Structure 1
Amino acid sequence: MRRTALTAGLVAMVSLVAFEYVAVAVAMPVVAADLDGVGLYGLAFSGAMAAAVVGTVLGGRWADLRGPLAPLWTGVAAFIGGLLLAGLAPTMEVLIAGRLVQGFGGALVSVALYVVVARAYPEESHPKIFSLFATAWVVPSMVGPAIVGLVVDTLGWRWVFLLVPFLTVVSGLVLARGVAGQPVRGGQGTPAPGLLVKVAWAAVTAVAAGLMQYGSDGSPVMLVAGLVILVVALPRLLPAGTLRAARGLPAVVGLRGLAAGALFAAEVIVPLMLVQERGLSPFLAGIAITGGAVTWSFASWLQGREVFGRLTNLVLGSVALAGGILLMGAVTFDGVPVAVAYPSWILAGFGMGLIYPTLSVLTLELSAPGEEGVNSSSLQVGESVFSVVAVAVTSALFTVAGSGYWAVFAATLVMALAGLAIARRAVPSAVRAPAGQTAAPV
C-alpha cells in the first residue's frame, strides 16, 4: 500500500512540473501583454532554464551526499514559492524572479525523484516507473494547452500559477506518506571537493545556452560566443567522454541529448511549416503533434513491460525517430501529400517513447551506489543543453536559408542518425536483454 502511495506521489510530482512547463508557454503571451513586459518575454523562459541547470547540478550531488529527501522537499517548497510569486507578480520583473525560483525548485525535485526511485524500488521495477514518468511528462502536452486556455479565459492568467501550488501540496502529502519507511534517508556518496566550482560552471553553462538562444534570432556573435563557452563549460558537468560518446554512461547521456535535441528542434518548426507552407489550420497542425505524444506514451508503456531488450529499444527508437523526421521533412515539398505529416510524427513519437525511459533506466543501472544523483543530473543537464543548442542552431539555419524548413529537418535528421550510431555504446552487453533473460554474447 505504501509503495502505491509512493508511486502515485512520484508520478503526480512529475506531472505537475511538466504541466507548469506547458502552461507557462501557453499563458506567457497574455502575461507579457498584461504586465507590459514583452521586451522581457524571452527572459521568462531562459531565466528559468538557467536556474534549472544550476538546480539540477546542485540537487544531484546533494541527493548523493545527504539522501534525496532534503533536496526533494526544498525543491517542492521553492517550486510552490516561485509559482506564488509569479502568480501575484505586479510587474514582469517580479514574475521573472518567480520563474527563477520555480525553475530551480523544479530541477531539485526532478533529480531527487531519480534517486528516490534508485533507493526505494528494486531494479526490475525501474522500467515500469520510468515508463510512468515518461507518460507523466507527455500527457500534459496533450491536455495542458486546452486546460490552460480555459483557465486564462475564465479566471485569468494568474490562476495558471496560483492553482498548481494547491495541487502540489496535495501531491506532496501523498508522496510524504509513500516515502515513510522507505530506504531513502541518508547519503551514500562520499564528499568530493569542488561542488561550488561545479555549480559555478553550471551557471556559466546556462548563460552560454541563453546566449545561443538569443543569438539564434539574428546575432551571430552571440550565437558563436555561446557555443564557444559551452564547449569549455559543458564537459565539466557531464561524464568524461560524453562528447565523444565513450561506452557506458557517457554514451547514455550523449544519446539522450541527441535524441531530445533532434525531436524538440524539429517539433518547434513543424506547426509553422504545416500552417504557413502547407495551409493547415493551427488545429489540424496541432493534431499532428498530438499524435506523436500518444505514441510516445504507448512506446513508454511497451518499454515498461520490457517487450524488447535495452539495445533493441534504443536502436528501434532511433530508427523510428530518424524515419519520422525524414518523412516530416519530405512534407516541406509540395509534391508530397500533407497527410504524410500525421504518420511521420506518430513514428517519431514512438521512437522517443522507446528511447527516453530506457536511458533513464540505464543511468541508474550504470551508477554505483552514491552516484545516482550526480549521474541523473548529468543526464538531465545534457538533455536540456543539447536541446537548447539544437533549437538555436536550427533556428539560425532556418534564417540563413531563407525560411529553410528543409535545412532544419536535415540538421535534426543528422542528430537522430548520430544517436543511432552510438546506441550500441550506451548498452553494456550484460543489460541488453530484458530483465530475467540472459543477454546473448556480442
Structure 2
Amino acid sequence: MTLRMKSFLPHGLIGRALLILVLPVVTLQLVVSLIIIQRHFDGVTRQMSRTVRVEVAWLLSEVEAARDLGAAQAGMGRIASGLGLGAALPATGAPPAQDQRLWWDLSGREVGTVLHEGLAGLEVVDLLTNPREVQLWLRTDFGLMRVDVPRTRVTASNPHQLLVISILASVVMTGVAYLFLRNQLVPINRLAQAAEAFGRGQTLPYKPRGALEVRAAGKAFLDMRARIERQIEQRTLLLSGVSHDLRGPITRLKLGLSLLPEDEETEALQADVTAMERLVEEFLAFARGDALEETVTAAPSEVVQELVGRWARRGEAVTLGDLAPIGPMRLRVQAVERALDNLIGNGLRHGSRVRVMTLASERFLRIVVEDDGPGIPQARREEAMQPFARLDAARDPNRGGGVGLGLSIAADIARSHGGELRLGQSEALGGLKAELLLAR
C-alpha cells in the first residue's frame, strides 16, 4: 500500500514542497469556505422560504374561504398575480408521489423542510420537473391546487460563487508559490550539478546563490572542492618525485645487469628488476588515479578499436566483438584505456583468448571484456576488486601474477565516470566477464 502511494507522489523537490506547503492550505481554505458558504446560504434559503410560505398560506386561506370553485379561482388569480406566483385550480396532471430534487441540491432540501413545516395542506414540493420553478401541490376543498414559485424567490442566485472565487484564488496562489519555489530551488539544482560534475572529474563554474542555508552549503562545497584539488595536486607532485627517484636506480640496475655476463643468475636478477619496475608502475598508477586527467569528447568505439588493435599487433589473442552505435561522449581517454589494458591483461594472464565489445543503454555505455580463463567465484568477486587483493597463488607477483591492483584501478576509473565495474561469468568464452559501465 505504501509503495503504491509513493508511485503517485511527486519525486522532485518542487512537487514535494508544493504538496507539503500548498495542499494543506488550499484544502483548509476550501473546506472552511464550503462550510461557511453552505451555512450562510442555508440561512438565506430558510428566510426566503418562510416569506414564500406566508404568501402561499395567504393564497390557500383565500381559496379555502371561497363559497364555490368560481370564487376560489377568482380570489386565487387576484392574489397570485399580485404576488408574482403561478396558480392552477384544479391542477392538471398528477403530482409526483413524493418530493423531488437533485441529490446535490442542498438548498432545495431546506426549501422543502421549511414549506412543509407551515403548510398543512402541502402534499408535494417538486424542484426537479422545472429547475427554474418550485412546484407546490396543495390539497384544498376544491381539489388539488398547484402553485408555481420562481426558484429565485426561495434560494439565492449563484450560491457557490464565493466557492468558485476561492478555488480560482487557490489556483493563482499555487502558481505564485510554484514560481517562488522554483526560483529558490534553482541554486540547489546548480549545486547538485556542480557536485555531480566534480565527482566525474569536471570542474564547473559555480557561485553560491539563494537562501542563506543554500549559500552556506555552496560555500562548504567550494571549500571541499578546493581542498580535494589541493590534495590531489600535492599527491601528484609527490608521486612525480617518487617516480623520478625510483626510475633512476632501476634504470641503473638494468644497465648494470646488461653489462654482466649472461648466465642463469643474471637472467634471474634481470627478471626481478623487470618485475620491480612493473610493480612500481602499477603502484604509481593506482596512487595517481585519474582525477587530474583531462576530460575530452571522444567516440568510445574508436577508443576500443584502437586499443584492441594495439594488443592484436603485439600478437595477442584479443578480438573485437560487436560495437554499439553510440556517438561521442565525455571521457578521460587515457584513464579508460588504462582500465581496459588492466582488464585485457588480466584476461590474457589467466586465459588464452579475450574478446572486447560495447553495449549501450539510455544511461550507460558498457564495455565488456571476456576471457576463457577460470573466472572468479561469485562469492569472491567483491573481494577481487579490493586493492592488493590476490585470490590465489597464480596471481602472486613472484609467480608472474599481478599485484592485485588491476581490477581496483578499473573500478576507480569507472566510478570517476559515474559508473561501476561489474564482474560476472562469460557465457560465450566461459571465463570472467568484466563490464566497465560509463555514464553517458
Q: Same fold (TM over 0.5)?
A: no
Higher relative contact order (CA 8 A, sep 6+): 1
Structure with greater helix percent = 1
Scaled by the length of structure 2, the TM-score of the pair is: 0.24
Scaled by the length of structure 1, the TM-score of the pair is: 0.24
Structure with greater strand percent = 2
